[in-house]
Amino acid sequence: MAKSYDPNNVFARILRGEIPSKTVRETEHTLAFHDIQPLAPTHILVIPKGAYVDMDDFTANASDAEITDLFRTLGAIAREVGAAEPGYRVLSNCGADANQDVPHLHVHILAGRNLGRMINPA
């Protein structure tokens, strides 16, 4: 079943300039900006400019250029903010069971402190 993209989601509105964001980096295919509710000292969101619901949609339908750009941008930002050492987390929630809040692919870069275990044991 095809996933339905909501063109009025908050990230689509940021991409259209309807909602301001504190840009970290912008490329042809990607926008990165500071999260307005940070969960770590460094909390940056990286989103594709294309209308992709989640990582599944993105990896199935995005061009090679879009996919490459998103992941190269993630790495470049982590290095620029000094997170490559001692470490950082890259997180993308995909779907209801992962508690994805916004139906536009977004990848979190979290760093600046010990982030603990990846998930709590069930």
d(C-alpha 77, C-alpha 60), whole Å: 24
Q: What is the pLDDT of residue 121?
A: 65
**The pTM is what?**
0.94
Q: Using the structure block, give the residue that is written with the tokens 């339908």.
A: 61
Q: Using the structure block, give the residue that is written with the tokens 């402190």.
A: 113
- pLDDT string in tens for the chain (122-residue length): 467 899 999 999 999 999 999 999 999 999 999 999 999 999 999 999 999 999 999 999 999 999 999 999 999 999 999 999 999 999 999 999 999 999 999 999 999 999 998 876 66
Q: Is residue 106 among the annotated active site residues? A: yes
Of 29, 104, 106, 108, the active-site residue reads: 106
Chain-centre distance of CA 77, in angstroms? 12
Which of 34, 42, 52 has its CA nearest to residue 115?
42
